[in-house]
Amino acid sequence: MSKELPIIYLARHGETAWSLTGQHTGLTDLPLTEQGEHTARRLGARLMGLTFAKVFTSPLQRAAKTCELAGFGALAEVDPDLVEWDYGQYEGRRGTEIRAERPDWNLFRDGCPGGESPTQAAARADRVVSRIRAIQGDVLLFTSGHFIRVLASRWLGLEPTVNSRYFMLSTASLSALGYEDSLSRPVIRFWNDTQHVMCDSLQSKQSTHPRR
């Protein structure tokens, strides 16, 4: 547990077949790929040595499995509010395909037909923020990319329909929210850390192509 101001760690799930192809994956409950399972374990190595007052995971298996493989399955509580955005009719579709029909489409501003509105996604994020701010100590969340982006905006008190689009995330990445000096000054401590994944990739390349 942090001895100073709390830190909220945000873990995005590992790779799935649809994250690899760029398809919108909302409530479709896809498993991790083999590579996704591997990077989830690497995420666990990145988190090694940290302790948390609470650990929460989305009920979707890609997040829950990432949580388990990272070594926190026994500690985690399932929070239904951590599920990914419900993309409705855009489920399984790529952004380029959608924008071919709607060139100005922006998920965070427009939402999805038959799915979740930005207001609904932000309301879920607000509930999560309210709960974790009541916890005395560091917190770890396992969830999905677009929801993390909305959550970060709401943590900072920003309008998610305008700002969430700028918070890009990679699979199996780690980010952290916190405070500067006091609880009245929320900040992003770091964002989209993939060093644990990149180092693993670099080692693999060096093994395949050893120096002469």
- Pick the closest to residue 141 from 66, 197, 212 (CA basis): 66
Instruction: Tell me which H or E stretch contains 190.
Output: strand 186-193
Query: Is 24 a residue of the active site?
Result: no
DSSP state of 31: P
- For every residue of 99-168, DSSP letters joined together read HHH-TT--HHHH--TTS--HHHHHHHHHHHHHHHHTSSS-EEEEE-HHHHHHHHHHHTT--HHHHGGG--
Please state, in angstroms and rounded to a whole number, the distance separating the CA atoms of residues 150 and 86.
13
Query: Is 196 a residue of the active site?
Result: no
Annotated catalytic residue, options 13, 24, 146, 196:
13
DSSP three-state, residue 198: helix
Annotated catalytic residue, options 15, 37, 84, 116:
84
Residues serving a catalytic function are 13, 84
